[in-house]
């Protein structure tokens, strides 16, 4: 249905597409918004799928104009089943044509070793197999993994970040779900072998490591990306909890300590850090490339250890406040809310106050006005935060509005292309000549001051072209989001399915009958896309969100409490 909606060309200019990584972001935010949407928006009681959630907040909820036709429970079962079939189709293709390489090239049937040659598709798909009840594939994989040797070949280096979030995260999650002890043993083995990556004078991990010699290598950037520094804590802290080994906790926590003491203003954590000194080196503030999962790991770390490490929560609060203040903009004509990245100058000339007071007025922001699809995890994260943090009613409202407005914009970017799938980066229309007139927060404040007439800015109807989605959005009941998830799955089936698997879509806005696809099936398709879609369509709560957090590759990790003994051992205050 989505492919026939008129385009948003007047608002968006699509930049040329590199291989797209849009599936998971879309599925994450659809899943999280579906899960929390009714709570955030103050939906109908029957929409609340989770009895333990607190009462809805005071959102100016309007009664549904129209309830979209939704499928019955039986239909959803059937839809979940089709996602399961899609997984079987892709994994079978990988298993028969590419294993033991990393990934399948789903058109040519070639195999690809684009990571470590450690069967990344199998590791990434492991917990999904368990969730889908594919015991034959799961057991076979466990047996294979039991014999794995993570010693690299001479001269081979493995990327630390990718190996942690995919391979280590996959092992830990599959262990947590299945209780297969050998998976924990292998996680411990792999986690230990990767540990020398942290052997830098700051304590930030190096980009890549040889597990044969413990030698390390920097990445192309020459310094540490914020996302690299802060996307190993869920995995290593859970591993510390499972094994009782202090070094796992200490290495991961060292990166956090560098954040607590960083000389930055408010929550403006820049994208690049000095690997040797552990200090910021640039002024770019972003939620997209180089930063995305770090924001996630702040909130999720706090959640994973049962909200005990309040220092981390404070970092998330600061960072998210800065995002809302400095990175959220609306477009001039249609008032579409988007998140961008910005050069934040003079931030380092500010004395470090260490307080959460409003940011100093002399920070000058140079927004790029790019809206990256990688950033579409943000509405889900803000929704999760609004739901779990002890925010004041007014802050909670701001976070919820931002989540809702951005969720809608992300959805629009999918809905408004011919393929029904989203582009990687969009360059947004800006206010001219003064770009900061588009900042969202002052407009929201003004709307409040003026008596809250109509819908908040950035959450208004963007125009008749997308009315059906607007109505879908207005009615929000979780079923609307489920339907959106279903329409995404239909687009995937229609455009991406090949004889052997599923291919990446190259040009989402192509006008040709046949949407161009790329001969690749990234492992995250098995880890994230199909998992979130399956969870979205199953009535049964397989992975309750009050018991698990998802790492940035969608591997669920259980929420746990540090014992008194652990607190002493790891020096957790």
Ligand X SMILES: *[C@@H]1O[C@H](CO)[C@@H](O)[C@H](O)[C@H]1NC(C)=O
Question: If binding is defined by CB under 6 A, does position 310 make contact with ligand X?
Answer: no
Whether omega for the bond prior to residue 314 falls within 30 degrees of 0, making it cis, is no
Binding ligand X by CB under 6 A: which of 170, 191, 196, 203? 196
Span of 58-66, 226-234, 299-307, 432-440 interacting with ligand X by CB under 6 A: 432-440
User: Nearer to ligand X by C-beta: 31 or 150?
Assistant: 150
User: Nearer to ligand X by C-beta: 186 or 482?
Assistant: 186
Residue 435: CB minimum distance to ligand X, A: 8
CA 50 to CA 55: how far, in whole Å? 11
CA 363 to CA 345: how far, in whole Å? 6
Query: Helix crossing, 310-322 with 246-260: angle to 10°?
Result: 40
Binding ligand X by CB under 6 A: which of 213, 306, 333, 356? 213
Tokens of 61: 């909820």
Return the residues of window 217-276 that contact ligand X according to CB under 6 A.
263
User: Nearer to ligand X by C-beta: 366 or 560?
Assistant: 366
CA 459 to chain centre: 22
Residue 467: CB minimum distance to ligand X, A: 31
Of the candidates 133, 104, 20, 169, the one whose C-alpha atom is nearest the C-alpha of residue 529 is 20
C-alpha distances (whole Å) from 36 to each of 24, 303, 381, 541 are: 18, 16, 11, 13
Residue 430: CB minimum distance to ligand X, A: 12
User: Nearer to ligand X by C-beta: 436 or 510?
Assistant: 436
CA 552 to CA 169: how far, in whole Å? 9
Of the candidates 314, 385, 231, 308, the one whose C-alpha atom is nearest the C-alpha of residue 560 is 308
Question: If binding is defined by CB under 6 A, does position 191 make contact with ligand X?
Answer: no
User: How many helices (H) and strands (E) would you count in the chain?
Assistant: 20, 19
User: Nearer to ligand X by C-beta: 280 or 380?
Assistant: 280
Question: If binding is defined by CB under 6 A, does position 362 make contact with ligand X?
Answer: no
Binding ligand X by CB under 6 A: which of 434, 499, 511, 512? 434
Binding ligand X by CB under 6 A: which of 30, 33, 80, 101? 101
Binding ligand X by CB under 6 A: which of 92, 289, 348, 366? 348
Residue 245: CB minimum distance to ligand X, A: 11
Residue 111: CB minimum distance to ligand X, A: 4
Residue 300: CB minimum distance to ligand X, A: 26
- Residues facing residue 210 across a β-bridge: none
* Cβ neighbours around 272 below 10 Å, total: 19
Question: If binding is defined by CB under 6 A, does position 195 make contact with ligand X?
Answer: yes
Span of 39-47, 170-178, 347-355, 504-512 interacting with ligand X by CB under 6 A: 347-355
Residue 326: CB minimum distance to ligand X, A: 13
CA 473 to CA 467: how far, in whole Å? 9
Span of 88-96, 267-275, 396-404, 430-438 interacting with ligand X by CB under 6 A: 430-438
User: Nearer to ligand X by C-beta: 140 or 490?
Assistant: 140
User: Nearer to ligand X by C-beta: 143 or 213?
Assistant: 213
Binding ligand X by CB under 6 A: which of 437, 461, 490, 519? 437
Burial class, 266, CB count within 10 angstroms (exposed 0-12 / middle 13-18 / buried 19+)? buried
User: Nearer to ligand X by C-beta: 72 or 149?
Assistant: 149
User: Nearer to ligand X by C-beta: 44 or 279?
Assistant: 279
- Between 142 and 181, how does the x/- string for binding to ligand X read (CB under 6 A)? -------x-x------------------------------
Q: Which long-range contacts (CB under 8 A, 24 or more apart) does 432-439 make?
A: 435/329, 435/367, 435/369, 436/365, 436/367, 438/329, 438/330, 438/331, 438/332, 439/325, 439/326, 439/328, 439/329
The count of chain residues that interact with ligand X, using the rule CB under 6 A, is 17
Of the candidates 200, 195, 295, 285, the one whose C-alpha atom is nearest the C-alpha of residue 248 is 195
Residue 352: CB minimum distance to ligand X, A: 6
Residue 389: CB minimum distance to ligand X, A: 28
Q: Where are the beta strands (DSSP E) in 368-467?
A: 370-372, 425-428
Residue 361: CB minimum distance to ligand X, A: 10
DSSP state string for 70-131: ---HHHHHHHHHHHHHHHHHHHHHHHHHTTTSSEE-TTT--EE--SSSS-HHHHHHHHHHHH
User: Nearer to ligand X by C-beta: 31 or 198?
Assistant: 198
User: Nearer to ligand X by C-beta: 98 or 410?
Assistant: 98
Question: If binding is defined by CB under 6 A, does position 328 make contact with ligand X?
Answer: no
3-state secondary structure 212-253: CCCCEECCCCCCEEHHHHCCCHHHHHHHHHHHCCHHHHHHHH
User: Nearer to ligand X by C-beta: 114 or 151?
Assistant: 151
Q: Does 216 belong to an annotated binding site?
A: no
Tokens of 143: 């047996």
Query: Helix crossing, 530-537 with 120-132: angle to 10°?
Result: 10
DSSP 392: -
CA 489 to CA 511: how far, in whole Å? 20
Residue 101: CB minimum distance to ligand X, A: 6
Residue 446: CB minimum distance to ligand X, A: 10
Of the candidates 103, 146, 134, the one whose C-alpha atom is nearest the C-alpha of residue 121 is 103
Question: If binding is defined by CB under 6 A, does position 519 make contact with ligand X?
Answer: no
Binding ligand X by CB under 6 A: which of 436, 468, 493, 510? 436
CA 457 to CA 478: how far, in whole Å? 23
User: Nearer to ligand X by C-beta: 199 or 427?
Assistant: 199
Whether omega for the bond prior to residue 359 falls within 30 degrees of 0, making it cis, is no
Span of 344-352, 445-453, 479-487, 493-501 interacting with ligand X by CB under 6 A: 344-352
Residues annotated within the binding site for Ca(2+) are 552
Residues annotated within the binding site are 552
Q: Which residues bind ligand X (CB under 6 A)?
A: 101, 110-111, 149, 151, 195-196, 199, 213-214, 263, 348-349, 352, 434, 436-437
């Amino acid at each position: 249905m989505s492919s026939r909606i008129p385009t948003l060309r007047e608002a968006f200019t699509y930049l040329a597409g590199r291989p797209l990584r849009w599936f998971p972001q879309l599925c994450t935010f659809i899943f999280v918004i579906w899960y929390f949407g009714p709570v955030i928006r103050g939906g109908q009681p029957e929409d609340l799928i989770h009895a333990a959630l607190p009462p809805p907040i005071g959102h100016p909820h309007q009664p549904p104009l129209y309830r979209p036709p939704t499928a019955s429970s039986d239909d959803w079962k059937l839809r979940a089943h089709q996602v399961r079939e899609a997984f079987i189709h892709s994994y079978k293709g990988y298993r028969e044509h590419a294993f033991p390489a990393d990934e399948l090239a789903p058109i040519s049937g070639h195999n690809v070793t684009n990571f470590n040659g450690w069967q990344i598709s199998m590791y990434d798909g492991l917990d999904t197999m368990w969730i889908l009840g594919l015991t034959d594939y799961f057991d076979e994989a466990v047996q294979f993994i039991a014999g794995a040797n993570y010693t690299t070949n001479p001269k081979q280096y493995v990327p630390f970040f990718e190996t942690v979030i995919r391979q280590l995260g996959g092992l830990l999650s599959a262990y947590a779900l299945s209780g297969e002890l050998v998976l924990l043993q292998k996680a411990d083995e792999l986690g230990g072998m990767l540990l020398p990556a942290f052997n830098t004078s700051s304590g930030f991990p190096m980009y890549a490591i040889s597990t044969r010699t413990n030698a390390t290598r920097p990445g192309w950037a020459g310094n540490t990306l914020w996302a690299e520094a802060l996307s190993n804590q869920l995995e290593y802290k859970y591993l510390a909890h499972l094994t009782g080994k202090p070094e796992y906790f200490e290495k991961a926590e060292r990166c956090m300590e560098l954040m607590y003491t960083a000389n930055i203003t408010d929550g403006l954590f820049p994208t690049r850090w000095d690997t040797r000194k552990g200090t910021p080196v640039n002024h770019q503030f972003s939620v997209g490339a180089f930063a995305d999962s770090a924001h996630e790991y702040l909130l999720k770390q706090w959640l994973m250890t049962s909200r005990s490490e309040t220092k981390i929560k404070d970092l998330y609060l600061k960072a998210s406040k800065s995002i809302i203040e400095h990175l959220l903009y609306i477009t001039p004509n249609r008032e579409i809310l988007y998140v961008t990245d910005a050069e934040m100058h003079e931030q380092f000339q500010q004395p470090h106050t260490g307080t959460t007071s409003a940011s100093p007025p002399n920070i000058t922001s140079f927004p790029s006005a790019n809206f990256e699809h990688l950033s579409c995890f943000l509405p889900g994260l803000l929704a999760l935060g609004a739901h779990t943090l002890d925010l004041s009613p007014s802050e909670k409202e701001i976070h919820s509005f931002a989540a809702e407005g951005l969720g809608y914009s992300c959805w629009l970017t999918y809905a408004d292309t011919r393929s029904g799938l989203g582009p990687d980066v969009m360059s947004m229309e800006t206010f001219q000549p003064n770009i900061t007139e588009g900042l969202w927060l002052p407009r929201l404040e003004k709307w409040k001051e003026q008596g809250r007439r109509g819908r908040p800015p950035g959450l208004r109807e963007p125009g008749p072209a997308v009315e059906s989605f607007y109505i879908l959005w207005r009615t929000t009941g979780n079923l609307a989001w489920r339907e959106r998830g279903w329409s995404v799955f239909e687009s995937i089936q229609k455009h991406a399915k090949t004889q052997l698997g599923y291919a990446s879509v190259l040009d989402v806005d192509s006008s040709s009958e046949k949407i161009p696809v790329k001969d690749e099936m990234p492992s995250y398709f098995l880890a994230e896309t199909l998992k979130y879609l399956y969870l979205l369509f199953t009535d049964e709560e397989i992975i309750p969100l009050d018991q698990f957090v998802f790492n940035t590759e969608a591997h669920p990790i259980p929420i746990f409490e540090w014992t008194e003994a652990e607190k002493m051992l790891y020096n957790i205050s």
